[in-house]
Amino acid sequence: MIGFGRYNLLLRIGRGGMGTVWLGRQKALGRYCAVKLLDPSLAAKPENNDRFVRETRAAASLSHPNIVSVFDGDEFDGQHFIAMEYVEGFGVAEILQLRGPAPVALALRWLEQAAVALDYVHGRGLIHRDVKPHNMLINAENTLKLMDLGLAKDMLDTEHSLTVTGTVVGSPSYISPEQIRNAKTVDARTDLYSLGISFFQMLTGKVPFERSSAAAVCVAHLQEPMPSVRLADPQLTAGLDRLVARLAAKNPAARHQTAAQALAEIRPWLEQYPWDDASRAYLAGVPFTDRTVAHLLKTEGIEMRHVDDNLTPMARGAMATVLQGDGHDATAIMQDTTPVRKRRPWLWLVGGMLLGAALVGGTVFVMWKQVVAPLIAQMKTRAKASPTLADLAAWQKQRRVFAEESFGEARRCSDAEWPGQKKRLLHKVRQNLEQQWRIQDPAMRERIVANSAELLDEVRAMSQTEYQKFKPALVDRWLMQGRKPGDRPPGGKAATR
C-alpha cells in the first residue's frame, strides 16, 4: 500500500495509454475508488497534462447512472491523478473475448444503455470521441457504465480544443470517417458511428474492418461498405443489419442525427427480444466476483482492516518512480509502518550478485546498441550492390509498359463495364506496388492507388485525339507517383515534379 495524499493506493489494477490505474481508498470518506495516474513520461508534454485535466473536468461535470462518476482530480507530489468510481465488473470487450458474441437480447440492452449515456453526454454539450466496447463497463446487475472521456470535445469550445488539424484522434477500429478527415469539425453523430461499430462487435464478436495496420483500417472506414452482421451469424435478422448500417452510415446525414433518435429506434427491439435464459446464462459465465474489492484485496494478501492505516511518508519526488515501477497488473506494493527488520547477510549477498549481473548486462547491451549493431548495419549497407544503368532502364521500361496497358484497358471498356474494370485495374496496381515497386508503407500505397484511379478516369474522359496528344505526359505522371526522391531515370537527372 502507498500513502498518496488524500488516498491510500492498495494495488495496481490496470494500465492504459495515458498511465496506470490503481484501486484506492479515500481516507476521509472511507470509500474505494479507481485512481488513474498520468504516466510521468507523458506529463512532460503540456498538451498531455491539458488533456488529462480536460478529462477530469469533462467527466466531473457528469452525473448519470450509466456513466462512471469522477470524485476528484488533482496533483500530488508532481503526479497528476483522477479519482473515480470503481466498478466491480468487466469491459464489454473483455466479456466478448471471454464469452464470444453476446445474445441479441443482451447486446440490445447494452446498446440501449450506451445510447442513453451518450444522449446525456451530448445534452451537456460534450462529444465522447472514443466510444468503444473497451470503454463500456458491465457489472453483475448488467448495468453499463460509459467511461474514459479523455478525448471528449466541448461542442461550443473551439478556442481550447486539443485537436490539431491533420491529427487523427480516436481508436482506429471504431473511428468515424469524418473524424479521420478532420477531428476538429465532428459533432455528436461521430459517437453514433462508433456506437454502431461497437454494436456490430457485440453481435459478431469482432470489428467490421480487421486490417494489418491502423492506416489500412482508416482507409476501410472511408471507402469500404459496412459488412453485414449476417455474414458472421446467418440467424441474425435483416432488421438488425439495417439498424447497424444506419448507426454506422459513412455519411453523417444518413445516420440518426441524435442519440435520442437512435433510442427511439432501439427500444422497440427490446420488446421483440425480451430478456431470456440465453442472456442470463451468458452473464452467469462472467466471473464478476473476481473484480470485487474483497476478492482483489484477499488475492494480494491485504487485510481490509489495514487499508486505512497511516503509511510511512516518502521522500518528495519519489512518488512517480514507485508508482510507475514495472510489475504485472493487480500487484500490491506494500509499505507499512512496521519497524524495519535487520536483513540477513545472505539477502545482501544475493542482492549484490543481482546488481552486479544487471550492471554487466546493461554494459553489454549499451555496447551492442551503440557500437556493434550500427557497425554491422553499416557493413550490410556497403555490401549491397547498387543497381546498374541497365537494371534501371529495364525497370523503367516495365513500369512504362504497365502504365500504357492500364490506359489501354481503361479506354477499351464500355461505360457499363467501367466500374468493375476499374476495380480490377486498381487491384493490379496495388499488387504491382507491393511486388514490383516494393512499397511497404500501406498509407503510401493507398495514396498512389487513389492517384492512379484519378488518372484512369482522366484518360477515359479524353477523346482519341486528346489521348494520343497527351499520352506521353500521362505516362510520365503515372511514373512519377512511385519515384522516390533522388531516383534517376537512365541517362538523366533526378526527377522532379
Q: Specify the 3-state DSSP secondary structure of 165.
A: coil
Q: Specify the 3-state DSSP secondary structure of 346.
A: helix
Out of 130, 148, 191, 241, pick the active-site residue. Answer: 130
Distance CA 159, CA 165 (A): 13
Distance CA 242, CA 231 (A): 14
Residue 276 appears among annotated catalytic residues: no
Distance CA 269, CA 218 (A): 31
Distance CA 196, CA 132 (A): 9
The residues near 108 (Cβ < 8 Å, ≥ 6 apart) are 266, 269, 270, 273
Distance CA 306, CA 67 (A): 30
Distance CA 389, CA 392 (A): 5
198, 133 in Cβ contact below 8 A? yes
85, 68 in Cβ contact below 8 A? yes
Buried residues in 434-449 as b, exposed as e (16+ CB within 10 A): eeebebeebeebbebb
In total, the chain counts a number of residues equal to: 497
Which amino acid is residue 354, in one-letter code? L
Active site residues: 130
